[in-house]
Each structure stands twice: as C-alpha cells, then as structure tokens.
Amino acid sequence: MEKQDQIVIYQTKEGSTETKHRVSGKCRQFEKDLMVKLIVNLMAIN
C-alpha cells in the first residue's frame, strides 16, 4: 500500500475551517526544514 498525500480539513477552536496538507515523510521533513529556516531568518531580522 502506497502512502498518498491527504488533504485534511478540520475545524479550529475558533470555529473556522482550515485545510491541513498531510504528506509523506520526505515532504514533512522539507516542511520542517522550511520552518527552521523561517525561524532562523526571523531571529536574524530581530
């Protein structure tokens, strides 16, 4: 069975609907790397 990308729609506590994109390990790691870079950039700016 292959892992497929899933788009998950869920409701937040505020009641608004958001779309979460669930992806396989590689893409998830890529997202983590992006977040780290974003945080590092923000720290550098501040």
- Domains identified in the chain, total number: 1
Q: In angstroms, rounded to a whole number, what is the distance separating the alpha carbons of residues 3 and 17?
A: 25
Please report whether residue 17 resides in a domain.
Answer: yes
Question: Angle at CA 31, nearest 5°, toward 26 and 46?
Answer: 150
Please report whether residue 25 resides in a domain.
Answer: yes
pTM, two decimals, is 0.36
Please report whether residue 1 resides in a domain.
Answer: no
The pLDDT tens digits of the residues spanning 1-46 come to: 455 555 555 555 665 555 555 545 555 666 777 788 888 888 887 6
The pLDDT tens digits of the residues spanning 2-12 come to: 555 555 555 55
Query: Hey, what long-range contacts does 21-28 have (CB within 8 A, 24 or more apart)?
Result: none
Structural domain containing residue 34? 6-45
